[in-house]
């Protein structure tokens, strides 16, 4: 009897473990990373995804194109026929906002990825290659940092025109030095750690050190910096469009929509307010997502 009792007592934990294991596996939901977001983070993520989907799919979901519209009441208020009113040509503002998202979101995202990717790559190369490469790259990029961003953009647009590829290249060049500085400061610290020294001792090359030892350890902060660069790029391109130097007609982004319809501001027209609110909602949503990145709150509590 004692033996039977003992074996059943020993078997209970094993059974519980066997039952608990599938439960733990079921808890590993593919979207479990969303649990790290607060309410504000989820709200920002929802708004950001909305604008990304509008930029990617919006023009194909509209029943008509903004370029073929017109002839309606100029600066008409919001109504059932025009949910966001009309602009100075009588075009539907909802269609214009959705089509403008392709340029505001798409161009800014492409320029940000190019700037952050280039800056991070150069920073990894500078940290892993040695003093002379680090010094050369840092001094060259310091030269770009010394030029005010708006002035550099105006010079580029005046010299090469205001096409979409030129705007992407201009914004990327402007924000490469900032991304480089952030990535280099992180990569230099990682490069001095023992496990990187061990990797060099066993004969690993520079590319291996960059991609396998340093990059994974700076990826989180660089993703946060990517979001900030995106906000800066959106505001830069919107300001250029407001000055008439950004996206050119017949295409239009949100900044140019504000400029074209500025005459309705005295009447409180939605044609001015709506694109301005679109820019504000996009930038605020990105900041909310960055502030609620999974693990950031835990790190802040640990720092305190």
Separation CA 104–CA 225 (nearest Å):
19
Query: What length is written for the chain?
Result: 304
Separation CA 125–CA 69 (nearest Å):
51
The answer to whether 214 and 191 have CB atoms below 8 angstroms apart is yes
What is the residue-level pLDDT of the chain in tens, covering all 304 positions?
A: 444 444 444 444 444 444 444 444 444 554 565 666 778 888 999 999 999 998 888 777 765 555 445 556 777 777 777 788 888 888 888 888 998 898 999 999 999 999 999 999 999 999 998 788 899 999 999 888 888 888 999 999 888 888 899 999 999 999 999 999 999 999 999 998 898 999 988 888 889 999 999 999 998 899 889 999 999 999 999 999 998 888 888 888 899 999 888 877 777 677 888 899 999 999 999 999 988 876 555 545 444 4
Separation CA 246–CA 11 (nearest Å):
72
The answer to whether 246 and 240 have CB atoms below 8 angstroms apart is yes
Residue-range domain boundaries for the chain = 58-66+81-303
- DSSP conformational letter for 213: I
pLDDT at 33: 57
pLDDT at 14: 42
pLDDT at 3: 45
Separation CA 184–CA 119 (nearest Å):
9
**Domain at 58-66+81-303, CATH homologous superfamily:** MetI-like (1.10.3720.10)
Identify the burial level of 5 via C-beta atoms within 10 angstroms of its C-beta, where 0-12 means exposed, 13-18 middle and 19 or more buried. Answer: exposed
Instruction: Determine phi and psi for 18, rounding to 5 degrees.
Output: -65, -35
pTM of the model: 0.80
Token couple for 206:
């520079």
User: What 3-state class would DSSP assign to 86?
Assistant: strand
Separation CA 43–CA 56 (nearest Å):
20
Name the residue among 3, 6, 99 with its Cα closest to residue 56: 99
User: What 3-state class would DSSP assign to 107?
Assistant: helix
Name the residue among 180, 66, 71 with its Cα closest to residue 127: 180
pLDDT at 28: 55
pLDDT at 50: 92
Cα distance between the two ends of the chain: 57
Instruction: Give 254's Cβ-side CA count (13 Å radius).
Output: 29
């Amino acid at each position: 009897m004692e033996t039977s009792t003992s074996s059943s007592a020993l078997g209970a934990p094993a059974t519980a473990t066997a039952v608990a294991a599938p439960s733990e596996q079921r808890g590993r939901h593919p979207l479990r990373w969303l649990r790290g977001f607060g309410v504000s983070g989820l709200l920002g993520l929802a708004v950001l995804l909305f604008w990304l989907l509008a930029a990617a799919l919006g023009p194909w979901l509209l029943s008509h194109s903004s370029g073929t519209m017109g002839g309606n009441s100029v600066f008409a208020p919001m109504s059932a026929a025009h949910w966001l009113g009309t602009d100075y040509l009588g075009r539907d503002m909802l269609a214009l906002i959705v089509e403008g998202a392709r340029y505001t979101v798409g161009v800014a995202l492409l320029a940000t990825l190019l700037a952050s990717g280039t800056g991070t790559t150069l920073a990894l190369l500078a940290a892993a290659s040695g003093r002379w490469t680090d010094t050369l790259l840092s001094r060259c990029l310091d030269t770009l940092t010394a030029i005010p961003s708006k002035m550099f953009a105006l010079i580029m647009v005046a010299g090469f025109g205001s096409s979409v590829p030129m705007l992407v290249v201009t914004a990327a060049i402007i924000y490469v030095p900032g991304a480089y500085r952030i990535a280099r400061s992180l990569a230099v610290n990682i490069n001095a750690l023992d496990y990187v020294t061990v990797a060099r001792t066993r004969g690993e090359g520079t590319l291996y050190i960059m991609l396998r030892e340093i990059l994974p350890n700076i990826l989180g902060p660089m993703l946060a910096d990517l979001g900030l660069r995106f906000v800066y790029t959106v505001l830069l391109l919107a300001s250029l469009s407001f000055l008439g130097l950004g996206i050119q007609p017949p295409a239009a982004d949100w900044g140019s929509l504000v400029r074209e319809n500025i005459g309705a501001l005295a009447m409180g027209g939605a044609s001015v307010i709506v694109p301005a609110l679109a820019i504000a909602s996009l930038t605020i949503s990105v900041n909310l997502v960055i502030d609620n990145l999974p693990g950031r709150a835990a790190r802040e509590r640990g720092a305190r």
